[in-house]
């Protein structure tokens, strides 16, 4: 272990009265050794799934866009799945290179009630932004947003989105890199986990693969 030396001991020679007087050493301070603190490693997204129950293994699929108001969307749910804490990871393939008028997004629904339409959804958008929404009875409220412009954007290129959900907090990771923390405290009920895709172009087909879900309950 490395140490930092605090205050050094100094021995002072103090003469007594008279030229031949004996010197008396006095210590001014006691040395202090301060241990250098050891850095605590930050858990990674993969480390949090060590030993966790694998709910799905390498699911692949296709989103065939159907009309849904502004966007055209498709969702794929896991039947009878009800989780509070989990990790979800999937690779999404870009259906085309986006433009100002031709856009897409993909993401993950968390703790989602398929009947009451309540839960969280986190999107990654073709303009390089991410968004976190809370859905309550089908009404969406944006809770947070930001930018992450290092993802692949070209046609047929893919990005890995990983969503960690742990009690009142969450984390979004893209291509193995931490993006942001999420506040999930406004909806902590168990629910389904879904991956989803959206496109502004009718008839768009979007592929995803290697979808894993780990239960952390």
Q: Are residues 23 and 124 in the same domain?
A: no
Answer positive or negative: Cα dihedral of 91, 104, 125, 185: negative
Residue 190 is predicted with a pLDDT of 96
pLDDT value at 26 more than 60: no
Q: Are residues 159 and 106 in the same domain?
A: yes
Percent of the chain with pLDDT over 90: 57
Q: How far is CA 3 from CA 36, 37, 54, 90, in A?
A: 6, 9, 44, 46
Q: Which tens digit of pLDDT belongs to each residue from 94-131?
A: 999 999 999 999 999 999 998 899 999 999 999 999 99
Asked, for residue 70, whether it belongs to a domain, the answer is: yes
Counting every residue written for the chain, the total comes to: 217
Residue 16 is predicted with a pLDDT of 33
Average pLDDT, the chain: 80
More confident residue, 84 or 26: 84
Give me the phi and psi of 58, to 5 degrees please: 50, 50
Domain range enclosing 20? 3-35
More confident residue, 29 or 13: 29
Q: What is the mean pLDDT of residues 72-101?
A: 89
Structure confidence at residue 9 as a pLDDT band (50, 70, 90) = very low
Q: What is the mean pLDDT of residues 42-60?
A: 65
Residue 63 is predicted with a pLDDT of 86
Q: Are residues 31 and 93 in the same domain?
A: no
Asked, for residue 167, whether it belongs to a domain, the answer is: yes
Q: What is the mean pLDDT of residues 42-70?
A: 66
**165 touches 87 (CB < 8 A):** yes
Domain count, the chain: 2
Q: Which tens digit of pLDDT belongs to each residue from 138-175?
A: 899 999 999 999 999 999 999 999 999 999 999 999 99
**48 touches 175 (CB < 8 A):** no
Percent of the chain with pLDDT over 70: 72
Q: Are residues 113 and 205 in the same domain?
A: yes
Q: Which tens digit of pLDDT belongs to each residue from 32-43?
A: 544 454 444 444
Asked, for residue 40, whether it belongs to a domain, the answer is: no
Asked, for residue 42, whether it belongs to a domain, the answer is: no
Three-state DSSP at 22 gives coil
Asked, for residue 111, whether it belongs to a domain, the answer is: yes
User: Which pTM does this prediction carry?
Assistant: 0.75
Q: Are residues 114 and 194 in the same domain?
A: yes
Q: Are residues 106 and 133 in the same domain?
A: yes
Chain CA centroid to CA 134, Å = 17
Asked, for residue 133, whether it belongs to a domain, the answer is: yes
Q: Are residues 105 and 18 in the same domain?
A: no
DSSP state of 83: B
What gap in Å lies between CA 91 and CA 55, rounded to an integer? 17
Q: Are residues 94 and 198 in the same domain?
A: yes
Burial label for 67, CB within 10 Å (0-12, 13-18, 19+), is exposed
More confident residue, 4 or 35: 35
Q: Are residues 195 and 110 in the same domain?
A: yes
Asked, for residue 41, whether it belongs to a domain, the answer is: no
Q: What is the mean pLDDT of residues 7-28?
A: 41
The residues, ordered by sequence, that sit 6+ positions from 39 with a Cβ below 8 Å of its Cβ are: none
| Structure token digits, residue 110 | 């968390």
**153 touches 128 (CB < 8 A):** yes
For residue 73, the domain's CATH number is: 2.60.120.560
Q: Are residues 103 and 126 in the same domain?
A: yes
- When mean pLDDT is compared across 14-28, 48-62, 63-77, the lowest value belongs to 14-28
Structure confidence at residue 49 as a pLDDT band (50, 70, 90) = low
Q: Are residues 25 and 54 in the same domain?
A: no
Q: Are residues 23 and 59 in the same domain?
A: no
């Amino acid at each position: 272990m490395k140490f930092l030396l605090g205050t050094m001991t100094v021995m002072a020679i103090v003469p007594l009265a008279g030229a031949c007087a004996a010197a008396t050493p006095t210590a001014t301070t006691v040395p202090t050794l301060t241990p250098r603190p050891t850095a605590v490693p930050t858990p990674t997204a993969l480390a949090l799934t060590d030993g966790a129950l694998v709910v799905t293994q390498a699911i692949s699929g296709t989103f065939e866009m159907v009309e849904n108001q502004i966007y055209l969307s498709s969702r794929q749910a896991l039947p009878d799945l009800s989780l509070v804490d989990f990790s979800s990871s999937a690779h999404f393939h870009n259906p085309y290179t986006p433009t100002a008028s031709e856009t897409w997004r993909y993401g993950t629904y968390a703790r989602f009630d398929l009947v009451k339409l309540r839960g969280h959804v986190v999107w990654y958008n073709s303009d390089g932004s991410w968004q976190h929404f809370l859905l309550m009875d089908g009404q969406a409220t944006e809770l947070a947003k930001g930018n992450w412009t290092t993802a692949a954007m070209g046609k047929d290129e893919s990005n890995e989105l990983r969503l960690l959900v742990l009690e009142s907090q969450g984390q979004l990771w893209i291509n193995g890199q931490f993006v942001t923390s999420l506040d999930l405290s406004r909806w902590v009920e168990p629910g389904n986990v879904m991956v989803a895709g959206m496109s502004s172009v009718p008839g768009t087909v979007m592929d995803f693969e290697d979808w894993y879900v780990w239960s952390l309950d």
